[in-house]
Structure 1
Amino acid sequence: MSHHPERRKLPLIAVYAATAAKAEQRVTELLGAAGASPAEVHTLIAAVQAGAVESAQGEVIELDMQAPSGSSAQVHDGWFRAVEAIADRLAHIADRTVQQARATAAALKTPSPAPRRTPHPLPTPVDSVGEGQVHQVLEAAKSIFVSLTGYTGFDRDLSEEILTVVLKCVSAEQQDGYAGQLGAFADESRCYLTHQPESLVVCERLDTVPMWLAAVWNTELDAELTLERFTNHWRYGLSPS
């Protein structure tokens, strides 16, 4: 069984690696500031790197006939094959550098697909609100209102008149479950309640769709200042005079 002497490991030359990395970063910054795209910058730097490798390969090839003088034919042959192998390897590195740069540049040029977003359907407005819906919401609002304030001396006709308008800014999709939504809103203890149970509905709509409420209110009710004052009470917690 033959034993080969342990070969010493060739030293790794790493004198210019850090300097080259900083230089590449600086060149990237300058080209980017000049308007070059990331793909173009990457390709240009790779071309310079590949050219440097090719230059080194050219110098290696010049060594093919420089075997030590007086060496045997076998040594000359081994020298030539070593130079050939190194030259081939350097050529491969140069080609690989360019090919990888082209692939990266193509990827940079290709915009990544935007994530698909599920569109949110717009709320469907209603032209009018039936008496049944008005009465259902009024009963829910009255129950909450009385349980919180103990006040029962409100004007029911006024409540129905206002709710007929205000409930127009509840979308068609929310109409059926609106009484439950109103109860959930009241449970959060955020509503400033005045002397009318429909104020609970007005407060909830102010909190959810204030501009929509103002639009239907000011168009159909002759009480624009009433909503403005009520909005101030709701937002700032002022006691009504």
Structure 2
Amino acid sequence: MPEPVPQRQAAITVYGDRAAAALRQVTSVLDNAGVAPEEIQELLALIQAGAIEGAQGDVLDLAERPPPDATAPAVQGWVAAVEAAAAELAHIADRTMTLARLAVRPAAPTAPPAPSLPTPIDEAPQEQVEQVLAAAERLFAELAGHTDYSREASLETLAVVLTAVAAEDQAGYVAQLEDFAARNRDRLMELYRKYGPGGELARLERSGLVEHPESIVICERLDAAPMWLQGVWDGEIEELTLERFAQLWQFGCHTPRGSRPSRAR
């Protein structure tokens, strides 16, 4: 007499526990033997899939052994149920192999973190203003050949302009400015040649900022963060001065701009 269904299910559970212990033991043995983890996973999956395939064969044999005295409709239902169970076992075997291969496949590279928003500052430290102005003066003398300007006025203007540089970029801003000047050397020289003191168009469209070294910093910010620069400028410095200078830098030079770095702020 066949065992009741609950008893058979309990026996299956026992085999499941033993199988899990056996898998751990085999994995340990193969690992100690130097077999690569991906090979271990695939070997075990092949054994499991093979066992499922063997079970599928046993299930299909049941189609030839319907219950005794079953009516024709019952036999048809029996065969259909057996075929459905066999098909599901085939899916389980395929899924076993797929999951094993996914488990050892190298993880897809994670997406780079979203860039963080720049951190604004309320006021640039005086030491930073002095350092940036010193760099701007050196560049300005080289590019414009002009040294007659009010350093006090330049310090006041630069203190405002530098609040359009993110807090995290302040420490490296001198290097960033020097890189900008190198990439845009020809364009800056054209700007000063045309509109600077003694320039060919100085009388027609002169902007006072062209006469000062901080103009290099303003050009860099106009390219990197124009809206931010405009925001800190408004209410602090005469608005028209920036507008006129921006027009000269953006539309008054024929020399192309240098390519911008990918992280410019």
Instruction: Give the TM-score normalised by the residue count of structure 2.
Output: 0.47
Query: How far apart in 2 are the matches of 1:210 and 1:100?
Result: 61
Give the match for residue 187 of structure 1: 182
SS of equivalent to 2:211: coil
The answer as to whether partners of 1:159 and 1:196 remain within 8 angstroms in 2 is yes
1:6-54 CA deviation, whole Å, 9 max, x = no partner? xxxxxxxxxxxxxxxxxxxxxxxxxxxxxxxxxxxxxxxxxxxxxxxxx
SS of equivalent to 1:220: coil
Runs of at least 5 residues in structure 1 that lack an aligned partner in the other structure: 1-56, 63-88, 107-111
Query: Measured at CA, do residues 91 and 220 of structure 1 come closer, stay the same or move farther in structure 2, by a change above 3 Å?
Result: closer
Q: Does 1:203 align with 2:201?
A: no
Deviation at 1:146, TM superposition (A): 0.8
Task: Choose which of 136, 139, 142 in structure 2 pairs with 1:144.
Answer: 139
Deviation at 1:238, TM superposition (A): 4.4
Query: Measured at CA, do residues 181 and 114 of structure 1 come closer, stay the same or move farther in structure 2, by a change above 3 Å?
Result: closer
- Return the index of the structure with the highest Cα Rg: 1
Deviation at 1:151, TM superposition (A): 1.2
Give the match for residue 158 of structure 2: 163
The one-letter amino acid of 2:248's match is H
Please identify, of 94-103 and 156-165, the stretch whose mean Cα deviation from structure 2 is larger: 94-103
- Within a 5 Å distance, the mapping from 1:204-219 to structure 2 comes to 204-219=220-235
Query: Measured at CA, do residues 98 and 208 of structure 1 come closer, stay the same or move farther in structure 2, by a change above 3 Å?
Result: same
The one-letter amino acid of 2:130's match is H
Query: How far apart in 1 are the matches of 2:145 and 2:127?
Result: 25
Deviation at 1:113, TM superposition (A): 9.4
Query: How far apart in 2 are the matches of 1:215 and 1:91?
Result: 70
Query: Measured at CA, do residues 95 and 179 of structure 1 come closer, stay the same or move farther in structure 2, by a change above 3 Å?
Result: closer
Give the match for residue 30 of structure 2: none
Question: RMSD between aligned alpha carbons?
Answer: 3.9
Task: Choose which of 80, 84, 94 in structure 1 pairs with 2:87.
Answer: 94
Q: Percent of counterpart pairs with the same letter?
A: 42
1:83-106 CA deviation, whole Å, 9 max, x = no partner? xxxxxx9788633455468889x9
Deviation at 1:204, TM superposition (A): 0.7
Query: How far apart in 1 are the matches of 2:96 and 2:240?
Result: 67
Runs of at least 5 residues in structure 2 that lack an aligned partner in the other structure: 1-59, 66-81, 100-106, 193-209, 255-265
The one-letter amino acid of 1:234's match is W
1:151-177 CA deviation, whole Å, 9 max, x = no partner? 122232221121010011112222222
Count of aligned positions: 153
Q: Does 1:132 align with 2:102?
A: no
Deviation at 1:220, TM superposition (A): 1.6
Query: How far apart in 2 are the matches of 1:227 and 1:171?
Result: 20
Query: Measured at CA, do residues 137 and 91 of structure 1 come closer, stay the same or move farther in structure 2, by a change above 3 Å?
Result: closer
Give the match for residue 235 of structure 1: 250
Deviation at 1:124, TM superposition (A): 2.3
Give the match for residue 199 of structure 2: none
Give the match for residue 7 of structure 1: none
Instruction: Give the TM-score normalised by the residue count of structure 1.
Output: 0.51
Query: How far apart in 1 are the matches of 2:116 and 2:236?
Result: 27
The answer as to whether partners of 1:232 and 1:238 remain within 8 angstroms in 2 is no
Query: How far apart in 2 are the matches of 1:227 and 1:123?
Result: 23
Query: How far apart in 2 are the matches of 1:100 and 1:219?
Result: 73
Query: How far apart in 2 are the matches of 1:166 and 1:235?
Result: 18
The one-letter amino acid of 2:252's match is G
